Structures are given as structure tokens and as C-alpha cells.
A and B are shown apart, each in its own frame.
Chain A
Amino acid sequence: MNPGMDEGLRSELSKQGIFTTTLEDLYNWGRKNSVWPLGFGLACCAIEMIAASMARWDLARFGAEVFRPSPRQADLMIVAGTVTKKMAPQVVRLYNQMPEPKYVIAMGACAISGGPFKEGYNVLKGIDRYLPVDVHIPGCPPRPEALLHGFMMLQRLIDEQALTGPRRPRHLVADAPSEFPVPQYGPHDLEPPSNPEVWQPPSSDKKPDVG
């Protein structure tokens, strides 16, 4: 909301038919209502994502129906499904190819943590080990309503992003990285197993189970 204007005056003016806004509000309003997701799915969550984009749940109501086949034209990466270790470098590379500003939704238990396959030899324990995830949607798979809810959370996040100041988002900070290192295939695991710039395990005092 407009910080430089009294809220009462603003609503008074709007009753008179005069609408005031800021460039920031207008800019974010436009951005949040035309988020174009990258059209890619990894596993069964992708089916729910497709259902959400079709007539019954109609992601088009939120301006996000245009699933782009090219990362160059996409703003949002919905990581819908299990990220295997073999697939992880490609997912990170696709993210790197997307232009800023870009956002990531981790959809479903697998994309968040590995889910039911967490201890498997071939499954990444969550895409947030390599990419900055904005919204996590739990579920196995999450229903389309859950995806819509997660998407609305993302819209709120975009709406609240400041254009200037210390709280401005990453794409407006010149030094902030836009690309993240692509993990390499190692002899036993991905190298590195996680990107410490993006993900750190929570400090040990927060782990009561593993005391």
C-alpha cells in the first residue's frame, strides 16, 4: 500500500471517483496477475498441476494459465513431483535459464523433502537444497485447491515486494545471484550434495528428535 498517503484520505478520494496508487502497487499488481509458469512436470504432482490449469479449477482466473514451453518466457517454476538426483542438474539449469524476476513453488512432499522416497539412493531430499523456494505446498499429491492456495500465497508475496530499499527482492539487487550452480554427477552422489548458499540444515538445537 501507498506509504506516503493517508489511508483515510485515500478512501475518501476513491469515493469521489479519484483513484490514487503508486508505481509499486501498479507494477506488482500487473506482475502478480500475469505469472506464467514453466510447463514442466516431474511426476504425479504434475497431473494435479495440469488439472488445476484446466476448466474445473481454472488457474486462468489468476492470470497464470499460460504455461510456457520455454524457460526464457516463464516467471514461475512449479517443481511438481519427485526430483531424482539424475534430474536435479537439469531442473537447476532450467531455473538458471529463466529471466528475472522468477519464483519457485515446491509442489508436493517429494519436491519439498524427497517425500516417501526420501531415503532412496536416487532421490534428492528436496529441491530447496539447490534453488530458493518461495512457496512450499505439502501433500502427496496436493489437490488442485492446494496449488491454487499456494499460488495465491505467491501472489501475496509478489504484491508485498518493495521496489526500493533494503527489503527489495533479489532481482532488484545488482549483486544478488540470478543463476545458481548446477550440481555435478559424482561417483556416489551429486556434487555438492546441497548448495550451502541456498540451504543449510537447521541448527542442531532445533532438532529434538535427533538428540
Chain B
Amino acid sequence: MIQMDSLDAIKCQIEGAIPGARLELLSHAGPSGQHSLLVDNDHALAVARFLRDAPRLLMDYASNVTGIDWPETTTRETIRTKQVIDGVEREIDQITERKKPGRLEAVYHLYSMELKQGPLILRLRTEDRAGASHLPSLTPVWRGAEFQEREAFDLYGIIFDGHPDLRRILMWDGFKDFPMRKDYVAPDDYEYEPTAHDEVLARALHHRRQEGPK
């Protein structure tokens, strides 16, 4: 097996081949060390074509396409500053709240059957989770991504522009929700939970309260 180029080297190759492509290397701290490349949406299709066709990479197989939901998060930062108030120097904590907007992410695991190397992990991010949840479809590059992008659309609501047949695949067509999103609320069908515990118990009790006493 040929050693695949490091992700840094691949990033340089892409940047050399596709001018203007904005790539970011996201390192993974876990023992698997599966670092990934974050690609900007405007150049994603060109980057994908390059990864498939570059002779040193030949990523001809999109093994897996999946979605990730990043809800909006607020992080608090405390900065301790020294201020002089009434001639006395005091330490004052300034708390600043930072809102990180939520977004959806599509992750592609690419392999090369030709060179027997991989995985190369590609990430695409939407602008937000509600209105602009668009991503370019990579199905024109890897036909095998078609059903998996449909699945990501079905369960996360990522709209893949350029997908040949973007319909729901697991849920039915009239279904309105995106069940794998963090804020999905399942229908309240907890009328009979014979062995309820933890979260299910809480929901069953909630259902009982909604129903009222019989």
C-alpha cells in the first residue's frame, strides 16, 4: 500500500490547482487521528473533481456521506481587567457572550480503489440551519453519493444544489421534520410506556399531564 500524502500536502496540492479555494485543516485529537479538510462551498465541486482526477490521489470512491447538526451555541468568556475606580485599583470581571451560529455539515469519506488509499475526509458547511442550508451536490463527481446525499437531505435538511433527484428517501414525501436534527421534537405518542425510565418516563409523565386525569 502506498502511503497517502499527508493532509497538509494534499491541501497544498489543491490550493495550487484551484486558485481561490479556501481550505481549512480540521485536526482530530482522537486516537484515530482522522483529520479532515473543510472546503468552501463555491469551490467544492472543483475540489472534488481535482481529488478524483489528480494522479497522486485518484479518490474514485465516495464511501460515506453523512450529516452533522451543529446547533447555535453561546460561549461565555470572562476577562479580568484592572480598572481604577475612585482612586482604588480593582479587578473587574467582564463577561462577554459569544454566539456561534448553528450550521449543518456534510462529511464525505473518500477512498481510492485505484491506489488503495484513504480515507480522505471532506467537510462542507452551510451558512446556517434554517434558510441558507444549501450545499453543492457532489453527486456529479461521485454517482454513489446520490442516495446518501438524499439521506442527509431527508434527515438533516441539507439542500444539495445540483443533485439530480433530491427527494426524501427514508421518510415519506409529505413529512415535514428533519428527525436527526438536535431540536427535532418527536410526536407525543407516549400513551403507553410499560417500562418507562429516564427520558421516556419524563415524556410519558408529560403526556399524562397533557391528557388530564381520567
Contacts and interface: CB of A to CB of B under 8 A. Distances in A.
Given A204-B208, A209-B195, A86 B177 contact: no
A207 B201 CA distance: 12
A145 interface: no
Contacts of A194: 189
Interface stretch (A15-23, A25-33, A182-190): A182-190
B196 to A, nearest CB: 5
Contacts of A210: 193, 196, 201, 204-205, 208
B195 A187 contact: no
Contacts of A209: 193-197, 201, 204
Given A119-B200, A188-B175, A86 B170 contact: yes
Contacts of A207: 192-194
Given A121-B179, A188-B175, A209-B194, A203 B189 contact: no
B67 to A, nearest CB: 15
Contacts of B189: 125, 189, 193-194
Contacts of B174: 185-187
B55 interface: no
Contacts of B186: 119, 121
B99 interface: no
Q: How large is the interface on A (under 10, 10 to 19, 20 to 34, 35 or more residues)?
A: 20 to 34
A203 B191 CA distance: 10
Interface residues of B, number: 26
A201 B191 contact: yes
Interface string B93-125: 000000000000000000000000000000000
B156 to A, nearest CB: 13
Contacts of A204: 208, 214
A127 to B, nearest CB: 14
Quick one: which of B174, B201, B204, B214 has the most chain A CB within 10 A? B174
B82 interface: no
A85 B187 CA distance: 12
Nearest to B174: A185
Contacts of B172: 85-86, 185
A115 B25 CA distance: 42
A5 B170 CA distance: 59
Nearest to B213: A204
B199 to A, nearest CB: 8
A124 to B, nearest CB: 10
Nearest to A124: B189
Interface string B165-191: 000001111111101000010110101
A203 B171 contact: no
A134 B208 CA distance: 29
Contacts of B192: 125, 201-202, 207
B188 to A, nearest CB: 9
A185 B175 contact: yes
Interface of A: 85-86, 119, 121-122, 125, 185-189, 193-194, 201-204, 207, 209-210
5 contacts: A125-B192, A186-B174, A187-B174, A189-B187, A210-B205
Closest 4 CB pairs of A and B: A121-B179, A201-B192, A189-B187, A187-B176
